[in-house]
Structure 1
Amino acid sequence: MSNQSTVVALKVDVDTYAGTRDGVPRLVELLGRFGIRATFYFSLGPDNSGKVIKRIFKKGFLRKMFRTGAPSAYGLRTMLYGTILPPPYIAERLPDVIFGVEQSGHEVGIHCWDHVKWHDYLPWLPKQAALMELGRASAAFEDIFGRRARTTAAPGWTVTPDSLEIQDAMGLFFCSDSRGTHPFYPVMEGRRFTTLQIPTTWPTLDEILGENGITLDTINDHYLSLIKPGLNVHTIHAELEGNAYTETFTRLLERLIDKGVRFATLGEAAQEYADAAPDCELQMSYTGGRAMPVAIQGG
C-alpha cells in the first residue's frame, strides 16, 4: 500500500441488537460480493437504545432523527430497548453472527459494552467505571473469538484521557476513536498516548443526508468528491447501510471500484502508516450533523 495511492478503508460500527442480527449478515454478503474486506466493531453488551430519548434536549438531535429516517431505519423495538422493553445482551444472543464476520475474512474489534452509557456518560464516568465497560466488552470478545481484541473504536467518537490510558494498557495495535485526516498518536490534555489512532476521514451518512441539499441521489457524488490520495476512512453503520440505505451504499461501492480505488482494513492501514504517524492534539468538539461532541484530530 503506497501512501500516495488512493485507499479506502471501511469501518463498520455495529451499535444495536437488530443491527447485529440483520444488518451485519447483509453487509457481509454485500462486501463478499465485491471481494472487499472491512473492519467491524461490535457492541457486545446490553442494547439500551431506547435511552437515547434523553438526547432529545440536545440541539439538532430531533432534526437529525427525522432527517435520516432513524425511527424506521432502527425499528420500533430497538427504540424501546432499555426503557419499556428489557435490553437484549448482544454477544450473549448472537455469538454466531459475530464470530461469522471474522470467518468471512473481515477484521473485528470492540465497539463497546453498553453503547448508550459510553456515548452519553463517558466524561462523567469514574476511571474505574470506564475500565469495567471495556473489561466486560473484552471478556465477551474473548469468549467469542478465543483471543484478545487488537482494536477498539469508541461509540460516537467519544473519548477522555482516562479512556485513552485504558486502551494503552490493553496493548491494542490501534484504535479508531477519532475524526481527522491521517493516522496519528493522540495527545490529549497534555498527555501523549501510545496507541495509534486511525481516524474517520469522511462524514457519515446520518451527518450529511438531508443537509446542504444532499439527497440519496447525490450523496455518493459528495463522497466521491472527498476522495484524496492516501488513506480515506469511511464509517458506516450496520443499522443504516446494512438496512434502509443498502442500495445507496451498494452504488457507492460500485463507483469506488470503477474509480480504481483499493480497499484495505484498518489494520492493514495501521501497519502501513504507524512508523510515519505524527503526534497530534485530540479534543472533544462539535462537527456538522452531530448533536454531541466527537474526538477531533488537531495539528
Structure 2
Amino acid sequence: MEKPVIALKVDVDTYAGTRDGVPRLLDILKEAGVRATFYFSMGPDNSGKAIRRVFTRKGFLRKMLRGRAPSAFGLPTMLYGTLLPPPMIGSSFPYILKSVEHMGHEVGIHCWDHVKWHDLLPWMPKKTVAMEIGRACARFEDIFGRRTRTTAAPGWTITADSLEIQDALFLSYSSDARGTSPFYPVLGGRRFTTLQIPTTLPVMDEILGENGITAENINDYYLSLLSPGLNVHTIQAEREGKAMAWLFADLIGRLKDSGATFITLEEAADEFGRNAPDAPLSMGEMPGVIGNVAIQGLDVPPPELFP
C-alpha cells in the first residue's frame, strides 16, 4: 500500500511568531531531519485589528478561546495596530528569515499585512491588491536577493484579482486553498495558470476542543486522517512553534515512525502537480472554520460586492 507523503506548510503571521516560533520550529525540524515550506508575513503586524471579527464573524470569540489564542499569540500581539503600534516583521528579522532558507527549507510570501488581506480582500480594488503583493515581493527580494517562487494567501482568502496578479508573477505554484490534490483553479468561468497545492488536513485551531478532540488525542486524530499519496498539513508558527511545540514534535515523530515521508511544497508540485487537472475554486464555508475560505471543487459565482 502506498505510504502517506507529508508536505508541511508553515504560516508565519506575526512579529512574535517570527521572533519566537520560527526558531523553535527550526529546532524541531532539524532534530527530526525534516524540511518544510515557510510562508512569511513581510509587513506590519496589525493583529490587534482582528478584534473586529468578534462583530463580523459568528463564533470567532469562541474559537479564539477554545484554541487558546491568548497563550498562543500573547497580549502584545493582540494589541498591535490598536493600542500598540504595529511592528514591521520582515525588516525586523531578516536574519531569521534567511536562516530558514540556510537550513534547507523552502521560503515564500504569505502577505504584506495579514489582517488587512484576510479581512478586507473582497473589497479591495485590484490596484490595492497589487500593491499589497508588490510590497511583500519587494521586501522578500531585499532579504533574499531574488524573487519569490511561491505565495500562500492569509486565511485561504482569494479573489479573481489576487489569482490574476499571482499569474502575472509567474510563480512556480501557490498554496491558497483547502482541498484534496494539486489543481489549476477555475473561478467565475476563468482558468488561472498558477498551480495550486491545497491544504488537505484540518488546522489545529479548527479542531482542538471540538468533538472530543484534546491535546492528548489530537495527534491520533491526525494519523487517522492520513491518506496514501500527498497530504498537506498547515501549521502556525504562533501555535505549533510556541505553546503547542511539544504536540508538533510528537506528531512529527509519530509520522516518521508510521513510515510517512516528508517533502517540501516545491517537491510536491514537481511530483504530484504534473498533469494536474483544472478544478473550480470559490470561497465557501468549511466545518470548524470561522469565515469563508477558498475551497477546491466549489463552483459558486463571486458575490456582487458593489451592485
TM band (smaller chain): over 0.9
Q: Tell me, what secondary structure is at the counterpart of 1:148?
A: coil
Structure 2: distance between partners of 1:110 and 1:124: 21
After superposition, where does 1:65-76 map in structure 2 within 5 Å?
Answer: 65-76=64-75
Please say if 1:19 is aligned against 2:12. Answer: no
1:218-233 equivalent positions in 2, closer than 5 A: 218-233=217-232
Shift of 1:73: 1.2
Paired position in structure 1 for 2:179: 180
- Which residues in structure 2 correspond to 1:1-299 (within 5 Å)? 4-57=2-55, 58-298=57-297
User: 1: CA distance between counterparts of 2:53 and 2:122?
Assistant: 15
2:230/2:272 contact within 8 Å kept: no
Residue type matched to 1:93 in 2? Answer: S
- Percent identity, aligned pairs only, is 67
Q: Deviations over 1:138-191 (max 9, x none)?
A: 000000000000000000000001100000000100000000000000001111
Do the aligned partners of residues 164 and 97 (structure 1) sit closer, same or farther apart at CA in structure 2, a change above 3 Å counting?
same
- Which letter does structure 1 place at the counterpart of 2:28? L
> Which AA in structure 2 matches 1:186?
P
CA contact (8 A) 1:49 1:82 kept: yes
TM (norm. structure 2) is: 0.95
> Contact (CA 8 Å) 1:61, 1:290: kept in 2 or not?
no
Could you tell me how far 1:6 is from its partner in structure 2? 1.7
- Tell me how far 1:275 sits from its aligned partner: 2.0
State the 1:4 CA deviation: 4.5
Can you give the 5+ residue segments of structure 2 that lack an aligned partner in the other structure? 299-307
Distance apart, 1:273 and its partner CA: 2.0
Which residue type is aligned with residue 34 of structure 1?
A
Provide the rounded CA distance (Å) in 2 between the counterparts of 1:169 and 1:181. Answer: 25
**Separation in 2 of the partners of 1:234 and 1:6?**
12
Instruction: Give the aligned residue type for 1:187.
Output: V
Aligned to 1:232, what secondary structure does the other structure show? strand
CA contact (8 A) 2:149 2:172 kept: yes
Please report how far the alpha carbon of residue 274 of structure 1 lies from its aligned counterpart in structure 2 after TM superposition.
2.3
- What is the SS of the residue equivalent to 2:64? helix
Inter-partner Cα distance in structure 2 for 1:5 and 1:259 = 9
- 2: CA distance between counterparts of 1:276 and 1:215? 39
| Aligned residues of 2:18 and 2:93 also touching (Cα < 8 A) | yes
CA distance in structure 2 between the partners assigned to 1:269 and 1:22 by the alignment: 28
- Mapped partners of 2:37, 2:282: distance in 1: 24
SS of the residue corresponding to residue 34 of structure 2 reads: coil
8 Å contact kept, 1:60–1:290: no
Kept after mapping to 1: 8 A contact 2:3/2:259: no
Mapped to 1, the partners of 2:271 and 2:201 lie a distance apart of 20
Hey, what's the Cα distance between the residues in 2 that align with 1:42 and 1:157?
A: 14
TM-score when normalising by structure 1? 0.98
SS at match of 1:7: strand
User: In the TM superposition, what is the alpha-carbon distance from 1:286 to its structure 2 partner?
Assistant: 1.0
SS of the equivalent of 1:282 reads strand
The one-letter code of the counterpart of 1:49 is: S
Judge conservation of contact 1:47–1:89 (CA < 8 Å) in 2.
Answer: yes
| Alignment partners' CA distance in 1, 2:285 and 2:135 | 29
Aligned residues: 297
Runs of 5+ consecutive residues of structure 1 not aligned to the other structure = none
Q: Distance in 2 between matches of 1:154 and 1:4?
A: 31
Taking the aligned partners of 1:155 and 1:142, their CA distance within structure 2 comes to: 20
